[in-house]
């Protein structure tokens, strides 16, 4: 009988599922959509039950599309978006929507608690800044603003651990998502009970911690009937999407770096020693005994998604006539604009910004417009702005002692040859592109494959499954124009940040 691995990815705008063979070939894939809700300024939340409904739909679609028998699935890996705070009761029922990584509702709580405990004290434990996007402030927000929810909360789960619970009935936490909680000891990979007490968070709310490739349970009869699988398939704990994407891009050794081109942008540099910087994000890697220092930005592929939605009416109509999609046509008009966009510089802070500035009030800005500028300038400047935010994070990481020699690109943005080349030119780094669309789910199934013994090591798994499609070398001729735009990029934010914080 054939043996396949199933990967489940809980993204921001949709879930993706894919079935792989042991050589990393995608047999079939599917997806399921769900909403992001924005009920108030600064809020961004999702309903985890909608994640599960989408997963069930996507799994069934994937199996049907690939004509895969459920009994051929021998292991399941799950990755998920960061910094969820899913309160469930003893029966596993979700008590309220979870704020997601873009949510900044707890900004006031961060200021208050940070002053009381000392942000440096928390940083020494968890290696991460105390910011409203993280899980900890969201739990404290429940305490203050939803006391009934907090009182009935049995465990607080992350996105991947919630799906693992729905599959197995086991409530767990794994190492890579620990970074969202400031009572997690980033050096030892355990809960810090003293910091739990300081924060006022009961350790009883925190599930037991597992390695990412650890088997946490098996698919239950109930889950099997809901999503079209069979009972008894092993499920591993899974990992943070950035960690799985890093693994699926082939990053398993120190210094190797993943470049993120999904809804959000950023990078993840693999480390074998603890290095932390309050301007960046530090988590465990999905590979044991390693960390990844991350630059996580709001502006990534989501910037192009927004531009396409709001300004691509013509490209959508034209694309249907000539058999191209609107994003391909966006690439074509951007390619006609010179590197540096003739002085147009874009700040991609479309929902505040995470690292390295950590400013929930930051705003997106186009600078340098005049009557000579075209739609192509907007599109290219947007691509360059995302690349400039990547460079900013890489520069800060270098200062923290984490050097990235070359980048391995993943996510939908990596399918754009122009955008990938822009990132190489702006950062001055060689960029390697593996099979970018499937890197995150591939990382999830590598965890499953190692967990059930299909692969004897992570190195073996990567050697078998990660295929390089192309590479981009930086063009030295563009170095000066991008250096100038980078200086403007940094100065624009410094000059505008106080204006951005004005309310009303």
**Secondary structure letter of residue 487 according to DSSP:** H
Low-confidence ranges of the chain (pLDDT < 70): 436, 504
What separation in angstroms does the CA of 428 have from each of 270, 356, 420, 472, 490? 19, 19, 12, 10, 17
Q: How many CB atoms lie within 10 A of CB 249?
A: 32
- pLDDT at residue 423, as a whole number: 98
- pLDDT at residue 488, as a whole number: 98
- pLDDT at residue 296, as a whole number: 87
- pLDDT at residue 189, as a whole number: 98
**Secondary structure letter of residue 68 according to DSSP:** -
- Could you tell me the pTM of the whole model? 0.90
- pLDDT at residue 261, as a whole number: 87
Question: Residue ranges of the domains in the chain?
Answer: 4-237, 304-404+480-499
**Secondary structure letter of residue 312 according to DSSP:** -
H helix intervals, 29-151:
48-65, 107-113, 119-126, 135-145, 147-151
What fold, for 4-237? Nucleotidyltransferase; domain 5 (3.30.420)
SS3 421: helix
Tell me: cis bond preceding 241? Omega within 30 of 0 counts.
no
Strand partners, 46: 98
Does this chain's domain 4-237 share its CATH topology with 304-404+480-499?
yes
- pLDDT at residue 436, as a whole number: 60
- pLDDT at residue 48, as a whole number: 98
Are 418 and 335 a contacting pair, CB within 8 Å? yes
Environment class of 497 (CB within 10 Å of its CB; exposed 0-12, middle 13-18, buried 19+): middle
CATH architecture of 304-404+480-499: 2-Layer Sandwich (3.30)
């Amino acid at each position: 009988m054939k043996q396949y691995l199933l990967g489940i990815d809980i993204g921001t705008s949709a879930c993706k599922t894919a079935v792989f063979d042991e050589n990393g070939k995608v047999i079939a894939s599917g997806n399921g959509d769900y909403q992001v809700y924005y009920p108030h300024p600064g809020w961004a939340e999702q309903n985890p039950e909608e994640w599960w409904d989408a997963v069930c739909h996507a799994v069934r679609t994937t199996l049907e599309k690939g004509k895969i028998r459920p009994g051929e699935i021998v292991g399941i890996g799950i990755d998920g978006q960061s910094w969820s705070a899913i309160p469930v009761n003893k029966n596993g029922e979700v008590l309220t929507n979870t704020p997601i990584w873009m949510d900044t509702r707890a900004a006031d709580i961060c200021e208050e608690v940070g002053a009381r405990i000392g942000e440096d004290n928390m940083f020494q434990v968890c290696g991460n800044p105390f910011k409203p996007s993280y899980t900890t402030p969201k739990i404290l927000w429940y305490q203050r603003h939803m006391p009934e929810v907090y009182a009935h909360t049995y465990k607080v789960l992350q996105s991947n651990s919630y799906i693992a619970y729905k599959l197995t009935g086991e409530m767990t936490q794994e190492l890579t998502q620990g970074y969202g909680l400031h009572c997690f000891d980033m050096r030892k990979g355990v809960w810090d009970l003293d910091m739990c007490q300081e924060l006022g968070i009961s350790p009883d709310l925190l599930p037991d911690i597992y390695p990412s490739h650890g088997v946490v349970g098996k698919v239950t009869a109930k889950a099997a009937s809901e999503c079209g699988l069979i009972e008894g398939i092993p499920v591993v704990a899974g990992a943070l999407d950035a960690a799985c994407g890093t693994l699926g891009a082939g990053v398993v050794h120190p210094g190797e770096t993943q470049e993120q081109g999904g809804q959000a942008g950023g990078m993840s540099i693999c480390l074998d020693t603890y290095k932390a910087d309050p301007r960046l994000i530090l988590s465990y890697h999905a590979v044991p005994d390693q960390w990844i220092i991350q630059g996580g930005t709001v502006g990534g592929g989501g910037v192009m998604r927004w531009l396409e939605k709001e300004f691509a009416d013509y490209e959508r109509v034209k694309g249907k006539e000539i058999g191209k999609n609107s994003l391909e046509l966006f690439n074509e008009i951007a390619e006609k604009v010179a590197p540096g966009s003739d002085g147009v510089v874009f700040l991609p802070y479309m929902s505040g910004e995470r690292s390295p500035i950590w400013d929930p009030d930051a705003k997106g800005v186009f600078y340098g417009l005049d009557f000579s500028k075209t739609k192509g300038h907007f599109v290219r400047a947007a691509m360059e702005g995302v690349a400039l935010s990547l460079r900013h994070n890489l520069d800060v990481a270098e200062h923290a002692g984490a050097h990235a020699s070359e980048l391995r690109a993943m996510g939908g943005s990596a399918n754009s040859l122009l955008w990938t080349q822009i990132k190489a030119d702006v950062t001055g780094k060689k960029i390697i592109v593996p099979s970018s669309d499937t890197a995150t789910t591939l990382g999830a199934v590598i965890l499953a494959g190692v967990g059930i013994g299909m692969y004897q090591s992570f190195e073996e798994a990567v050697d078998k499954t990660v295929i390089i499609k192309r590479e981009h070398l930086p063009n030295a001729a563009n170095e000066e124009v991008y250096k100038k735009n980078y200086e403007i990029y940094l100065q624009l934010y410094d000059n505008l940040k106080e204006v951005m914080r004005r309310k009303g």
